[in-house]
């Protein structure tokens, strides 16, 4: 059903920054018309929230190489159930996405298996080793929306600057992981009293600041379009603010876990809370929330990183980093709404409008002519999360058994229903 009328909905418009009760008419997969007030006929949304589908940046899918952790089919199902209509996927697969052939395989698998849109990133250097630039032009023509070596931070700044210069000439976006690799090597938690009490190897927050300052210096030198995948500490924000004031083409993201959890959630060495970068002190978490509110941070993402049980059921320092987040991104983000810290338009500006704009998608808008990629959700519906019911193959969520508010009722992709909650 690509033609439909949705009425009696609380319209969340992140572009206008507004919330209104109204209706949306879908025709041929696009938003054909919308307005305020009542409208007869069609689908009665019952006063629930209707917003642009989430564009989730930094999603890890285990194809190729780790399909046992996550496939395009299961990631797509999880995304649709979480209101995510576009996944911007990472290139850090076991066979890195560093050639046009591997990229074409990924695009074909995504098209055949995933029920949501997939916008793949490609590696910046071959094997993500920081030594030799990939064929950026060919990869971009094949469908790569950005280039990144993920958490393999390049140490050779001359090679990185050449990559940036070439990317700039092609109008390509580079996604960096702000971290000084020497200072952060071997760490599992943020340095401080908590790390000392737990006896865990620690990483100074200065490693993030140093990594970001280096990258932004190279951005200033080359003029490349740059996105910092995750900012998690207040120490890094001044450099980002200066770059934006200098009108560099720079954006930055933050994961939902760093917005809603802090270092104390690790508790008794709970490895589902081991992330990269590690969870930060509460002051840093609050600083990230404020940075989203004032626009310093542009994008909220899940950094969906599936890990199997064998990778997580290990001593904390030996366990794999990362957490799944496609299905929990929206209810976790709604914690900030219910706490009065961010409005719904602010949340969807960071989860839909800004990421779509950054990565060249027409989605992320609640406006006439935009794709009818939409999510209908009840912002107040309470539930207790059961990780066994997640649609992802891997179940490594830090929100297991957490009390949450906010259920997705229905998700549309191009006007087609790709998820509907059980009554």
Q: What is the C-alpha separation between 65 and 69, in angstroms, rounded?
A: 9
Q: What is the C-alpha separation between 420 and 278, in angstroms, rounded?
A: 35
Please state, rounded to an integer, the average pLDDT across all residues of the chain: 97
Residue 141 is classified by DSSP as H
Q: What is the pLDDT of residue 423?
A: 82
- Domain ranges for the chain: 53-364+381-402
DSSP-based three-state secondary structure for 342: coil
> CA angle at residue 374 from 370 to 379, to 5 degrees?
135
Q: What is the C-alpha separation between 80 and 71, in angstroms, rounded?
A: 14
* Residues β-bridged to residue 115: none
Superfamily name and number for 53-364+381-402: Metal-dependent hydrolases (3.20.20.140)
Q: What is the pLDDT of residue 266?
A: 94
Q: Give the closest residue to 346 by CA, choosing from 396, 295, 287, 406.
A: 295
Q: What is the pLDDT of residue 82?
A: 98
- 51-98 pLDDT per residue, tens: 999 999 999 999 999 999 999 999 999 999 999 999 999 999 999 999
The two structure tokens encoding residue 284: 């840093």
This prediction has a pTM of 0.96
Asked if pLDDT for residue 288 goes beyond 90, the answer is: yes
Query: Locate tokens 């104390």: which residue?
Result: 264
- 354-413 pLDDT per residue, tens: 999 999 999 999 999 999 999 999 999 999 999 999 999 999 999 999 999 999 999 999
User: Residue 157 belongs to what H/E stretch?
Assistant: helix 157-170
Q: Give the closest residue to 387 by CA, choosing from 335, 309, 316, 321.
A: 309
- 315-326 pLDDT per residue, tens: 999 999 999 999
Asked if pLDDT for residue 252 goes beyond 70, the answer is: yes
DSSP-based three-state secondary structure for 59: strand
């Amino acid at each position: 059903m690509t033609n439909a009328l949705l009425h009696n909905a609380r319209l969340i418009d992140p572009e206008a920054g507004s919330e209104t009760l109204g209706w949306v008419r879908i025709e041929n997969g696009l938003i054909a018309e919308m307005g305020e007030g009542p409208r007869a006929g069609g689908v009665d949304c019952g006063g629930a929230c209707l917003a642009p589908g989430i564009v989730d940046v930094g999603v890890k899918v285990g194809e190729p190489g780790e399909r046992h952790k996550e496939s395009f089919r299961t990631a797509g199902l999880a995304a649709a159930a979480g209101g995510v209509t576009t996944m911007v996927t990472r290139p850090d697969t076991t066979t890195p996405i560093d050639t046009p052939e591997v990229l074409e395989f990924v695009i074909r698998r995504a098209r055949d298996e995933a029920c949501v849109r997939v916008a793949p990133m490609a590696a910046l250097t071959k094997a993500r080793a920081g030594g030799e630039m990939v064929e950026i032009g060919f990869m971009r023509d094949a469908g790569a929306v950005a280039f990144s070596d993920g958490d393999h931070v390049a140490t050779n700044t001359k090679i990185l600057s050449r990559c940036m210069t070439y990317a700039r000439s092609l109008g390509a976006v580079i996604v960096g992981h702000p971290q000084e690799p020497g200072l952060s090597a071997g760490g599992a938690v943020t340095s401080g009293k908590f790390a000392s009490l737990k006896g865990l190897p620690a990483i100074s927050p200065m490693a993030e600041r140093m990594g970001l300052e280096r990258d932004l210096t190279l951005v200033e030198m080359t003029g490349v379009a740059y996105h910092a995948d995750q900012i998690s500490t207040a120490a890094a924000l001044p450099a980002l603010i200066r770059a934006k004031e200098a009108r560099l083409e720079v954006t930055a993201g933050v994961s939902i876990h760093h917005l809603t959890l802090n270092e104390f959630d690790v508790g008794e060495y709970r490895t589902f809370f081991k992330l990269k970068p590690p969870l930060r002190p509460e002051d840093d978490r609050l600083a990230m929330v404020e940075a989203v509110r004032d626009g310093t941070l542009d994008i909220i993402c899940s950094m969906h990183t599936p890990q199997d049980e064998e990778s997580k059921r290990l001593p904390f320092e030996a366990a794999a980093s990362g957490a799944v987040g496609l299905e929990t991104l929206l209810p976790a983000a709604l914690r900030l709404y219910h706490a009065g810290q961010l409005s719904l338009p602010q949340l969807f500006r960071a989860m839909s409008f800004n990421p779509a704009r950054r990565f060249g998608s027409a989605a992320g808008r609640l406006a006439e002519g935009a794709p009818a990629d939409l999510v209908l959700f009840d912002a107040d519906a309470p539930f207790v999360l059961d990780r066994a019911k997640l649609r992802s193959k891997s179940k490594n969520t830090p929100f297991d058994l957490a009390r949450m508010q906010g259920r997705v009722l229905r998700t549309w992709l191009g006007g087609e229903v790709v998820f509907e909650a059980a009554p």
